Chains A and B, each alone.
Chain A
């Protein structure tokens, strides 16, 4: 007998360990769910971690009101399949209550506003830990992120003062009012996620596969046309064959021209791609350290 795990099984074992550690160390956890492949993977691993019991935490979606309709449909079906409770935190409500101000202009996005809605929901529901699908290979500030990441009473991340994390010993100690963000799939790369989801035959939103869609181009990025978009005078819409590599808001998620119609095609495309998956995310392009700046304030 060869006592050896391949890399995907080893990553899976590590993630399951981290998810169970959350259940053991915290009182009131919640899983953040965006409808993207990483949060689908995270919930899939959580299902495995507690099998045959149900996932012992609710799932929370921060609803910007600018979602792809496909995301909402997938979310509702997925929650039903898992048999877990869904909590929706609405950015629209936060705007209506005057907690945040809507951005103006052509590139207006509710991406940044999600932070306020998220922190408000964490406080309201008294969640002491939020599990997220962040990965270290996504972005340079995320590369410095811990599995167990401490947030102060304002929900802020202090990247220069993080707790050292060694072996598989995770320190989730905190004062009242503080909380944690936990990232069980920290060590997965984009390709790992696709290979694993393919081998596990997890069903995914069709946004990830090539389809015909009305699009337009802005700053070199292909965007989906929707009611949330104000076209500039010279911009024109065009039908294209596209798919999405990440799924965020309709206002900030870029599409790629692609004929990848199934998971094998997607894996082949990812394996040969020379552009990062977040290359189409205008929210990351606002400055050199925009992810770090948002994370310090309490972003995912």
Chain B
């Protein structure tokens, strides 16, 4: 008992959080793989397993259908498909993991994009019997567009190709060749059999030719410390805290989450859009004052001077400012059944800022399977990805998405229905 307490007290101080996304269809073994990761890390409980076993039986299926664990909605269970993003959790003493589990079919591109938006790692599954297929390319392209820092490619069902090294190498070459056209920084390959557990948590006895690590080891050790931007200081003001009590009569705190860079007490900061400068008097948290703040901390900043600052403004450093732009080039992923209307006004949400926009120009539509740029078809429908130019009513204080995923991302909202109709990455 004592050891366990020690183990978890240890985790409390130095475990970090890794978010990864998977995409896949019914047959490629994704559910089996997730089921195995959860089961082997003891994140599946006996009563859950009993419920899944009973549900499998009721459906007249054999064995345990692990997809029933992740496919939680009635419609998904009825149709045997994953419709939406499901979030799953497991932990090892080294890390806590959040899986964004998404469907892989092209009609769910928007769900894959959603799952990818916050991920540190994209896990791509390839069926060793089929090699790189359209769906593999699509997943890799989405990972590249959404700038997921790390890609791990699991070549699955190795048991069905006699654990052949040659097959593994061929698929690896094929994938390398394809992804040289993409903007992917870090790729890692692992031959696995999710069904038998080869190289998932335990090293495979069947593939002694493979000298690399298991998937779990990779997930536990991939370096994510530099996934945040620690260079460009960006603090979108989210909310102004004014206690209005005797003890804190003149307190005016700017609450928000650090979107980039390291802010230090005493730093000179500039307010956008006003351009006024001041010094950071205090960085406050509930625990008290701290000396410096970095992403993704939620803090409250107090300035030396009494300036007019409100939600939607941004605190930056004078010598390193984001672009202040009304004409913005964006890679847009369309989410809504109603196609994009170029003459229509949409709401733009960007950091804590809210403006309106019009799409001025559709430069090209991207074929999500081949990367082909389609210059002819300008109609943007659900699940389409297109490069567009938009014009906003007020300037956005933005960075290229490649540089900062927080200050480089937007969503578009339909003013009539209030639905989120698109997500965009600023170029």
Contacts and interface: CB of A to CB of B under 8 A. Distances in A.
A33 B1 CA distance: 33
Contact of A274 (B46, B247, B296, B405): B46
A193 to B, nearest CB: 12
Given A52-B243, A267-B5, A292-B74, A47 B286 contact: yes
A84 interface: no
Contact of A3 (B8, B294, B352, B419): B294
B30 interface: no
B238 interface: yes
B225 to A, nearest CB: 6
Contact of B420 (A49, A52, A164, A293): A164
Contacts of A272: 4
Contact of A17 (B73, B238, B419, B420): B238
Interface residues of B, number: 86
Interface in B390-427: 405-406, 409-411, 413, 418-420, 423
Interface in A36-86: 47-54
Interface string B294-308: 101110100000000
Contact of B241 (A10, A53, A142, A275): A53
Interface in A136-193: 136-137, 139-144, 159-160, 162-171, 173-175, 186-187, 189, 191-192
Contacts of B355: none
A203 B239 CA distance: 29
Contact of B17 (A11, A163, A268, A273): A11
Interface of B: 1, 4-5, 7-8, 11-17, 42, 45-48, 51, 55, 69-75, 77, 83-89, 91, 95-96, 98, 110-111, 113-114, 117-118, 225, 228, 230, 238-239, 241-245, 247-248, 251, 255-257, 262, 284-286, 292, 294, 296-298, 300, 311, 335, 347, 349-350, 352, 405-406, 409-411, 413, 418-420, 423
Interface of A: 1, 3-14, 16-17, 20-21, 23-24, 47-54, 136-137, 139-144, 159-160, 162-171, 173-175, 186-187, 189, 191-192, 195, 199, 264, 267-268, 271-276, 279, 288-289, 292-293
5 contacts: A5-B16, A13-B298, A163-B420, A164-B411, A268-B5
Given A24-B238, A195-B11, 8 more contacts: A7-B96, A13-B257, A21-B239, A24-B311, A164-B113, A187-B87, A191-B8, A268-B8
